[in-house]
Structure 1
Amino acid sequence: MSEKDDGRRGSSQDPEGERHLTDEEIEAALAGFEEELNADDDGASRPDDGASANTTEQDHQASDPQTSGDASGEGIDFDDELEGLIGNKAKIATLITRLSSGELLAAFCRLAGIDADCIDTPEGAFAVLRALDGDEPETCARDLTSVVSGLSAVLAVNRADKLEATLWLNGHAGESFSPPVLFASTSSCVEDLLIGASNLSMVQVDGYSVSDTDELSDESAMAIIARHTRSGSGGHAAGTANE
């Protein structure tokens, strides 16, 4: 568990009487799932292996700043837009996994203290992060992959209309991927969100299921994880058959 989680779970009960799970309870619940992840041979959330040999760290011009922005055309805050243009605040940041369920990813994010909307796609679930200032997206990637040992995730961030994609595993950043390689192995809605051609409302209208971490408690998050372990009722990786 990260220091962030230790601080968040310093006591088992908040002033209003709501019980919070201890680190020991959370680690016990995750133990079986982590064993399954570590036993997998499919490379978890890495983009397509055939294309990864061509990966290099590249900047990608996502869209024309004069035409990009909120696809709905509403609710654009000038200060936020300015911070996004100069790169102090990411325009959008996503954590892309091979998990088969956005609900499961939301449960992991909840236990890692990450605020996000998690979306189901056939290629794997991904999280749209709400923490966008400075290096907050990188902190989220570190925390998620530290809390769930063996879970890898690609952090894709749009800063000042430049896309960066980096693989994270066990709390550490790894190799970087060019946007074309990343988009070749993800749902089209991932690219649309990252370049500003879509937003969460449009994603939901298109029929994708979205799970909000704010709607979960620690207990409900652990119940979701229990349902998705192989000892429960479902598998965990996209394309992995249930036993």
Structure 2
Amino acid sequence: MHFNDADLDAAMADFEREFDQSQASPNQGSQGPDSGFGQDDTLFAGDSTGESTDQPETQQSIEASFDDELQGLLGNKAKAAAIITRLTSAELLAAFCQLSDISAVCIDDPQGAVAVLRNLDGDSPEAAAKDLTTVVSGMPAILTVNRADKLEATLFLQGQAGEQFAPPILFASAAPFVEDLMLGITPLEDILSDRKSFDSADLDHDGALAVLAKHTRFGRGNSSIS
């Protein structure tokens, strides 16, 4: 999706209008005839122990959400990014991510474990794919990114970007949930609810090495890294 200046100005105006309305809503709620507040409730809402104490935190949350939406619109922050592998274990992929300093939730799938990236700013997804395929030399991985509603899929090997794939080709060969995740059809929380997953943040360096030992010929696991 491509935006011209007029489209961007209109989108900015919509964001600012929604932002202003969300700031005004706490004050309007106690005055409207359909607010559901009686006199006592109104007094409580304005009391120092009531909801007003949460307004600064709420405002910060609104501002952060606004900034995320704006950066996503401009393409400065990806809406979603994932690294698709042929690893047979998401636990092993999480260990590789930890050793590569990548923050990700890794999800098991028979077609290959997938790392859903947390850092979506700028070229961070590309940097993650480069780091992962550098640390795990010889392991190919496909990075898929949704920026400003434009999907890209790129093969990485030994830290280098290579062939690009059309999204339909990628989705046909990847885990079924990848398409839903990248298109924003299914939230990550729903995907994780019925799938086995491992978080790279739950491992330290020694823990990651222990996982590697378990899944290689030095341990008792039988996971493949091809």
TM-score by length of 2: 0.70
Runs of at least 4 residues of structure 1 off by over 3 A? none
Q: Structure 1, residues 18-60: CA drift from partner, whole Å, max 9, x if none?
A: xxxxxxxxxxxxxxxxxxxxxxxxxxxxxxxxxxxxxxxxx9x
Name the amino acid aligned to 2:66. F
Are 1:113 and 2:101 an aligned pair? Answer: yes
Alignment-derived partner of residue 196 in structure 2: 209
Distance 1:147 1:236 in 2: 18
Alignment-derived partner of residue 235 in structure 1: 222
Shift of 1:119: 0.5
Distance 1:167 1:100 in 2: 18
Alignment-derived partner of residue 206 in structure 2: 219
Distance 2:128 2:179 in 1: 20
Shift of 1:233: 1.9
Give aligned pairs, total.
Answer: 166
- From 137, 149, 156, the equivalent of 1:149 is 137
3-state SS of paired residue (2:101): coil
Distance 2:215 2:173 in 1: 23
Are 1:94 and 2:82 an aligned pair? Answer: yes
Distance 2:223 2:139 in 1: 11
Name the amino acid aligned to 2:109. T
Q: Structure 1, residues 165-189: CA drift from partner, whole Å, max 9, x if none?
A: 0000000001000001000111211
Shift of 1:109: 0.4
Distance 2:183 2:74 in 1: 16
What is the Cα-based RMSD across aligned positions, in Å?
A: 1.9
- From 68, 71, 74, the equivalent of 1:83 is 71
* Greater RCO (CA < 8 Å, at least 6 residues apart): 1
Alignment-derived partner of residue 184 in structure 2: 196
Shift of 1:95: 0.5
Alignment-derived partner of residue 126 in structure 1: 114
Distance 2:89 2:66 in 1: 35
Contact residue 124 and residue 237 of structure 1 kept, 8 A: no
Name the amino acid aligned to 1:90. A
Shift of 1:77: 1.4
Distance 1:104 1:125 in 2: 9
3-state SS of paired residue (2:155): strand
Rg bigger for which structure?
2
Name the amino acid aligned to 2:199. D
Distance 1:143 1:230 in 2: 24
Shift of 1:200: 1.9
Are 1:164 and 2:152 an aligned pair? Answer: yes
Alignment-derived partner of residue 137 in structure 1: 125
Shift of 1:236: 2.7
Question: Greater helix percent: which structure?
Answer: 2
Shift of 1:201: 1.0
Shift of 1:131: 1.2
> Structure 2: any 5+ residue segments left out of the alignment?
2-10, 12-61
> Structure 1: any 5+ residue segments left out of the alignment?
1-58, 60-65, 67-74
Distance 2:69 2:143 in 1: 21
3-state SS of paired residue (2:144): strand
3-state SS of paired residue (2:195): coil
Name the amino acid aligned to 1:177. F
